A = this chain, B = another copy of it.
Amino acid sequence: MRLTTKGRYAVTAMLDLALHSHQGPTSLADISKRQEISLSYLEQLFAKLRKHELVSSVRGPGGGYKLSRESESIFIAEIIDAVNETIDATNCHGAGNCHKGDVCLTHHLWSDLSEQIHQFLSGISLADLVERNDIKAVADRQDAQERAQHEQVLAVIN
Interface residues of A (CB under 8 A from B): 1-5, 8, 11-12, 15-16, 35-36, 76, 89, 91, 99-100, 102-110, 113, 116-117, 120-121, 124, 129, 132, 134-135, 138-139, 141-142
Whole-angstrom distance between the Cβ of A134 and the nearest chain B Cβ: 5
Residues of B within 8 A of A132 (CB): 108
Cβ-closest chain B residue relative to A14: B106
Contact of A105 among B3, B100, B121, B142 (CB under 8 A): B142
Query: Once the chains are docked, how many angstroms separate the CA of A86 from the CA of B132?
Result: 26
Whole-angstrom distance between the Cβ of A146 and the nearest chain B Cβ: 12
Residues of B within 8 A of A105 (CB): 12, 15-16, 35, 135, 138-139, 142
Stoichiometry (number of copies): 2
User: Could you tell me if B36 and A100 are in contact, using CB atoms closer than 8 angstroms?
Assistant: yes
Query: Once the chains are docked, how many angstroms separate the CA of A22 from the CA of B121?
Result: 40
Query: Once the chains are docked, how many angstroms separate the CA of A35 from the CA of B15?
Result: 43
Contact of A8 among B100, B110, B142 (CB under 8 A): B110
